[in-house]
Amino acid sequence: MAGDTITVASWGGTYQEAQTKAFFKPTADALGITIREDTTNGLDDVRLQVTGNAVKWDITELGADECARGSKEGLFEKLDYGIIDKSGINPKLVHDDWVGISYTSVVLIYRTDVFGDKGPKTWADFWNVEKFPGRRALSGSQATETLSVAALAEGIPIDKVYPVDIDGALKSVDKIRGHVDAWWTSGAQAMQLVKDGEVDMASIWNGRAGTLKKEGAPVSFSFDQGVLTADCMVIPKGAKNKDAAMKALAMFVSPQLQANLPLYVDNGPVNEKAFETGKIPQDRIKDINSSPENVKTQVLQDAEFWRDTLVEATEKFNNLIQQ
Amino acid sequence: MSIAPSALPISMRRIEKRFGSVAVLRDLNLDVEAGEFLTLLGPSGSGKTTLLMILAGFVRANAGSIRVGDDEIITTPPHKRNIGMVFQNYALFPHMNVFHNIAFPLKQRGVAAAETAERVEKALDLVKLQGLGERRVDQLSGGQRQRVALARAIVFEPRIVLMDEPLSALDKGLREHMQIELRSLHRRLGMTTVYVTHDQREAITMSDRIAVMNGGRIEQLDKPETLYATPQTRFVAGFIGESNFIPVECHNGSVWYEGRRIHTAAPAPASGQHLMVVRPEKLRLLANAEPASGVNVLDATLSDIIYQGDSFVCYAVLRDGRQLTLRDYCRSDVLARMPAPGQPISLGLDAQDTILVASDG
Amino acid sequence: MSAQSAFHESAGTNLNAQSLRADARRESLRLLALLAPSLFLVFAITIVPIGWLFWLSLFDEAGAFSAANYARFFEQASYIKTFVTTFKVAFIVTGACVLLGYPLAYMLSQLTRRAASICLIFVILPFWTSVLVRTYAWLVILQRKGLINSWLIDLGVISQPLSLANNLSGVVIGMTHILLPFLVLPLYASMKTIDTDCLRAGMNLGAGPAATFRQIFFPLSLPGLASGVVIVFVLCLGFFVTPALMGGGKVIMWAMRMEQTTSLYSNWGAGAALGVVLLVVTLALLGLFQWLLGARATGVWSSR
C-alpha cells in the first residue's frame, strides 16, 4: 500500500490546482503514496481506455451525467463503501460505481452597469424580454442545463423541475431563442461574453461568475434558482491500482478534505459534513454553492434522468437552437 | 502578304541607359534603313538586348530619341508602337492554341473574325505550319514554336520586327535551316528587322549589316564582308571569325615585325605599337623560303596538324613563341609536301591580307 | 569468326533478351523497395484509419451492424442544417479569400524579390500565433463594445453597435483572416512562374496593360488560384475553433457537430459517420472541380 503510485485525472486548470491542494497532496501524505496527475476530456477518454484495454488512470473525474452513462455502459469498477464513508453525501450522488466529488452551479448573471440592482433575478425574468430588454446568452453545449433553466422559466417550482418535461422545456427554449444573441460552448466563452459587455445577462457557471466579480466586473448573481450540477469520481474498469485508488477516493470525499476545496476554488464540497469541520470561515460559507442555505434554493441536476434522455433531448435542443 | 508597304527606317540618337550606377548604353547612335535586316551582335553584357528592349518599349531609356519614320516613339507605350517581336523563348501564350496565339494581335486591333481567320491562315502558310492552328502550344516542337512566334510577330504587318536571339534554343541543324528561312522570309516581306544574337556566324549569314556591340557602344557598323575583311578594332577582329594577333611596330611609314619589314596593302598607320590581324585561311604553307615579292614570310615550327577531311588546321609556333593557326584545303599538292610536326616551316601572307588594328583594343 | 562471337550469333535475334528482361524486373523491384516506406506510411496513417472510421460508422450503440448512424442525418433536421451551413460558410469564406487574396498576391508578385519577401513575412506572420489567440483578438475588435463599433460610434457613423461577432459575419471574418495565407501563397508562387516575356509579348502585340492582365496574366494565374481555392475550401469544411467562438453558437459547422456527436453518443460510429459523410462529399466536390477544370482543354490546365 504505502509506496504505491496512483494516477488521478481531472479537468486541469485552476480547478485541478485547487484539487491538488485540497485532496491529492493531503491524501498522498496521509497514505504514504504518490499521486500522479493527468487531465481528461471526459467520458470519451475513459471509454477509449477501457474498451481498448489500456487503462492509464486509477481515478478520474467526470460530470455526474457522464458517470451515470458510463455506469450503464459498465466502464467503472464497483466502489467499496466499507472503505468509502458515504455519510454526508447526497444519496443521489452515491452509486455502486461512482460517487460525487464537488458541485458547480449554473446561475443567472447580469451586468449592473445596464440594470443597476434591478436586473433579472429569476429565469422567468430572463425570459421576460419586455421588462428586461437586453442581449442574452445561454449555454448551447450543455443542453441539460439550459433545459433545466427553461423549465424554471416556465414557473415550475425547484422541487418539481425533475423529471424534466422535455417537450415543455423545449417549448420554453423556443420562446426565448430568438432573443439569444450567443449560445456559449465553454465556460471561458460565457465569461468573455459577459465581461466584454457582448451580452447583458447570461447563464454561467458559478466559478466563472465568481471570478468575474473578483476581477471587478460590474456583475451580479445569486444562487437563487441555480442549477446544481455535480462532478463525480470513478475508478475505470481494469485500473491497475484499484485498492490504493479506493483508499484515496475515501480520503477525497471525507469531510476534512472536502472542507479544503472551497478554500481554493468556488466549487462547493459534495459532503455536507465539510461545513461542520470548522475549517471553512463563516463569512465564506454563504458564497459556497453547496452550503446548506444555498442548496435549498437550487435544483439538483438528476444524473440518472439525463442518462436515459440526454441523446434525444440534446438532438432536439440542437435542432431547435439552429433554426 | 507581300512586301510590307509600311517598312520604315529607324533612327536612334544619343541613347543612354543606366541600371543604378552601371551604364549599359552610352551615347548610342544607330540608323536602320527601311527594309533592312540589321543585326546587333555582341557578347552578353554588351547592351544589345537592352537596346532591343528600349526599341520595343519594355525598358525606359534615361535619355535619347528613337524615330520610326517621322514619329518620335521614345515615350510611346509598347502596345502602341506597332512593332512585332520574336522572343528568345518564343513567349507563346500557353493557354491558347496556335490559332489564337497568332490571332491575338489582330484581336487587339479589332480585326473582324473572317479576316482574322484568313490572315492567320496566310501567316501559317508563310511559316509552313498549314493546318496546325488547333494544336496546343505544348504539342509543338521547338522549331514549330519558333515559327508560330514568327507568324504572330508578322501577322499584323508591323512597321518593324525585332528578334531577340530567336534561334538560340534550336539545335544546330534546325538553326541553320531556320536562318535561311528567316532570311528568305525577310526578302519576301521586306520589313525593317533588328535582330539580336551573340553568334557571329549567324549574324554573318543573315544580315544586311551588323552592329558589333561591346561595353554599351557600337564598335563597328558594316556589311558582313567588310566587317570580316577590315575589322577596325581588335575586339571586332576577335569577335568576327578566327584571328591570329601578331604585335608589330610602325615607324617611318612602314611596319616591322622581328626586324623584318611587313608588306601591307594599306598605308602604314601612325608610329607605335600595333596588332596585325591574320586570318588562319589567309596563311599559306610555302614550298620554299623564297617567295614571290610582296609576300610576307613568317618562320615558324610546326607543332601539330589536324585533318578535318576537306581541310586541315596547322598549329605553328613563331620564333618569339607566339602560336599561330593556319587553315587550308586538302589539295593534293599541299598534302604531298606536308611537313611533320617539329619541322621548321615558312608561312606566307599576302600584303593585301594584312589587317592592322590599334594594340590597345 | 571466333568461338565467342559464334556463341553470340547463336542466340540469334533474341541476343541476351532473357537476362535483359530479368534485369528490368530486378530494377522495378528495387524501385518498389525504395517506394515501400512511403507506401507503408500512406497505408498506415491514411488508408487504415479511414477504413476503420468507415467500419466503425456501420455499428450502432449496441454494437450491432446498422445504418442508424447515417439514418440519423435524415431523421434530425439539424444535421442537414449543419451541412448546409458548413458549405455556405465555406463558399463565402473562399469567395472572400479570393477577393482579398488575388489583389494581394498580384501586388506581391509585382514587387522586387526583396520587398516581396518582407511582405510575405507579414502574410505568414499570423501563422505564428495560435488560431485561438487570433480568434479572441477578432472578438476584441468586432464585438459590440469592440474597437470597430467604438470607433464608428465615436465618429458618429452609427448610433447602435453593428452585430459583427457572434454570428455568420464574425465567423466569415475570422476564418477569412486565418485562411487567407493558404490562398495567397500558392497563388503568389504560380504568379511568380508566369513568364514576364508572355506579358511583354501581349503588350508588344497591341494589348494595353488591362487587356494584357485580362487575356494573359489572369488565365495563367488560374492554376495557382485553383489550388488556393481547393485548399481554402477543404480547410473551411473542417474548421472548428473559429466558428465555435465567433459564431455565437448559431453557426454550427460540421466539425463542431462531430465533437458534439462524439461526446453525446457512446459509440464511435455516430461521430465516424459524420466524418465519412464529410470525406465523401469533399472528395466528390474535388472530383467535380477537377472535372470542370479538365473540361477546359487548354495547355495550362492539363500541364499542371
Per residue in A233-262, pLDDT (tens digit) is 999 999 999 999 999 999 999 999 999 999
- Identical fold at A5-103+230-299 and A105-228+302-321? yes
Question: How long is chain A?
Answer: 323
Q: Into how many domains does chain B fold?
A: 2
Confidence (pLDDT) at B148: 94
Decide if B248 is inside a domain: yes
The domain limits of chain C are 86-253
Question: What is the CATH number for B331?
Answer: 2.40.50.100
End-to-end Cα, chain B, rounded Å: 46
Residue B361 binned pLDDT confidence (cut-offs 50, 70, 90): very low
Give the C-alpha separation, B203 to B39, whole Å.
6
The answer to whether residues C187 and C148 touch, using CB atoms and an 8 Å cutoff, is no
Q: Which residues of A touch C139 (CB under 8 A)?
A: 192, 196, 198
pLDDT, tens digit (0-9, with 9 covering 90-100), for B185-201 = 898 888 899 999 999 99
Backbone angles phi, psi at C215, to 5 degrees: -90, -20
Decide if A114 touches C, using CB distance below 8 A: no
Same structural domain for residues B146 and B277? no
Q: Is B72 helix (H, G, I), strand (E, B) or coil?
A: strand
> Which cell is A3 given?
509506496
Mutation for testing the C interface, residue in A51, A138, A194, A315 having most C CBs under 10 Å: A315
The domain limits of chain A are 5-103+230-299, 105-228+302-321
Sorted by sequence, the CB contacts under 8 Å of residue A147 that are 6+ apart come out as A164, A166, A169, A170, A173, A313, A317
pLDDT, tens digit (0-9, with 9 covering 90-100), for B207-229 = 999 999 999 999 999 999 999 98
Q: Which pTM value belongs to this model?
A: 0.80
Decide if C112 touches B, using CB distance below 8 A: no
The answer to whether residues B209 and B221 touch, using CB atoms and an 8 Å cutoff, is yes
> Which cell is A78 given?
464497483
> Which cell is B71 given?
514619329
Give the C-alpha separation, B148 to B129, whole Å.
8
Q: Which residues of C touch B87 (CB under 8 A)?
A: 197, 200-201
Please indicate whether chains A and B are in contact, defined as at least 3 beta carbon pairs under 8 Å: no
Domain end marker among B192, B211, B231: B231
Same structural domain for residues B53 and B168? yes
Give the C-alpha separation, C69 to B78, whole Å.
65
Per the CB < 8 Å rule, is A321 touching C249? yes
Give the C-alpha separation, B9 to B164, whole Å.
19
Backbone angles phi, psi at A59, to 5 degrees: -140, 140
Per the CB < 8 Å rule, is A198 touching C244? no
Q: Which residues of B touch C198 (CB under 8 A)?
A: 91-94
Mutation for testing the A interface, residue in C61, C76, C78 having most A CBs under 10 Å: C78
Per the CB < 8 Å rule, is C197 touching B88? yes
> What SS3 string covers chain C?
CCHHHHHHHHCHHHCCHHHHHHHHHHHHHHHHHHHHHHHHHHHHHHHHHHHHHHHHCCECCCCCECCHHHHHHHHCHHHHHHHHHHHHHHHHHHHHHHHHHHHHHHHHHHCCHHHHHHHHHHHHHHHHCCHHHHHHHHHHHHCCCCHHHHHHHHCCCCCCCCCCCCCHHHHHHHHHHHHHHHHHHHHHHHHHCCCHHHHHHHHHCCCCHHHHHHHHHHHHHHHHHHHHHHHHHHHHHCCCHHHHHHCCCCCCCHHHHHHHHHHHCCCHHHHHHHHHHHHHHHHHHHHHHHHHHHHCCCHHHHCC
Give the C-alpha separation, A8 to A248, whole Å.
10
Give the C-alpha separation, A240 to A6, whole Å.
8
Confidence (pLDDT) at C7: 52
Overall average pLDDT of the B152-173 stretch? 90
* Angstroms from A320 CA to nearest CA on chain C: 8
Decide if B79 touches C, using CB distance below 8 A: yes
pLDDT, tens digit (0-9, with 9 covering 90-100), for A288-322 = 999 999 999 999 999 999 999 998 999 899 888 88
Residue B1 binned pLDDT confidence (cut-offs 50, 70, 90): very low
pLDDT, tens digit (0-9, with 9 covering 90-100), for B310-358 = 899 999 999 888 899 999 888 888 788 888 888 888 888 888 888 888 8
How far is CA B179 from each of CA A176, B81, B167, B185, C167, rounded to the nearest angstrom? 85, 26, 8, 10, 69
Residue A310's closest chain C neighbor by CA? C264
Phi/psi-derived region of residue C243, left when phi > 0, alpha when psi is between -120 and 50, beta in every other case: alpha
Confidence (pLDDT) at C3: 46
- CATH number of C86-253, picked from 1.10.3720.10, 3.30.460.10, 1.10.357.10, 3.60.20.10: 1.10.3720.10
Same structural domain for residues B226 and B252? no
Please indicate whether chains C and A are in contact, defined as at least 3 beta carbon pairs under 8 Å: yes
Decide if B33 is inside a domain: yes
Query: Between C168-192 and C218-237, two packed helices, what is the crossing angle to 10 degrees?
Result: 140
Question: What is the CATH number for B131?
Answer: 3.40.50.300
Overall average pLDDT of the A10-22 stretch? 92
Per the CB < 8 Å rule, is B152 touching C205? yes
Render each residue's pLDDT in chain C as its tens digit; 304 residues.
444 544 555 555 678 888 899 999 999 999 999 999 999 999 999 999 999 989 989 988 777 888 888 888 888 888 888 999 999 999 999 999 999 999 999 999 988 889 988 998 988 887 888 888 888 889 889 988 889 999 999 998 888 888 888 889 999 999 999 999 999 999 999 999 999 999 999 999 999 999 999 999 999 999 899 889 989 999 999 899 899 888 888 888 999 888 888 878 877 888 899 999 999 988 998 888 888 776 553 333 333 3
Same structural domain for residues B171 and B59? yes
> Which cell is C76 given?
434530425
Overall average pLDDT of the B103-132 stretch? 92
Q: Which residues of A touch C76 (CB under 8 A)?
A: 315, 318-319
Give the C-alpha separation, C140 to C152, whole Å.
15
Q: Is the pLDDT of residue B4 over 70?
A: no
Confidence (pLDDT) at C302: 36
Confidence (pLDDT) at A309: 92
Residue A45's closest chain C neighbor by CA? C263
The answer to whether residues A40 and A9 touch, using CB atoms and an 8 Å cutoff, is yes
Overall average pLDDT of the A198-212 stretch? 93
Which residue of C198, C211, C303 is in closest CB contact with B93? Answer: C198
Confidence (pLDDT) at A146: 96
Q: Running DSSP on this structure, what letter comes out for residue A24?
A: I
The CATH number that domain A105-228+302-321 falls under is 3.40.190.10
Give the C-alpha separation, A236 to B204, whole Å.
92
Overall average pLDDT of the B272-300 stretch? 83
DSSP secondary structure letters along A96-158: SS-EEEEEEEEEEEEEHHHHTT-S--SHHHHH-TTTS-S-EEEESS-HHHHHHHHHHHTT--G
Give the C-alpha separation, A285 to A283, whole Å.
6
Segments forming the whole domain that contains residue B113:
10-231
**Could you tell me how many CB contacts below 8 A there are between chain B and chain C?**
84
* Angstroms from B73 CA to nearest CA on chain C: 14
Q: Which residues of B touch C298 (CB under 8 A)?
A: 94-97, 136
Give the C-alpha separation, A311 to C60, whole Å.
14
How far is CA A260 from each of CA A85, A252, A267, rounded to the nearest angstrom? 17, 10, 11
pLDDT, tens digit (0-9, with 9 covering 90-100), for B44-74 = 889 999 999 999 999 999 999 999 988 999 9
Decide if B158 touches C, using CB distance below 8 A: no
Domain A5-103+230-299 in CATH 2.60.120.10? The answer is no
Same structural domain for residues B183 and B296? no
Decide if B2 is inside a domain: no
Residue (of A183, A185, A211, A223) closest to A199 by Cα position? A183
* Helical (H) or strand (E) element with B224: helix B224-229
Residue A43's closest chain C neighbor by CA? C263
> Which cell is C74 given?
435524415
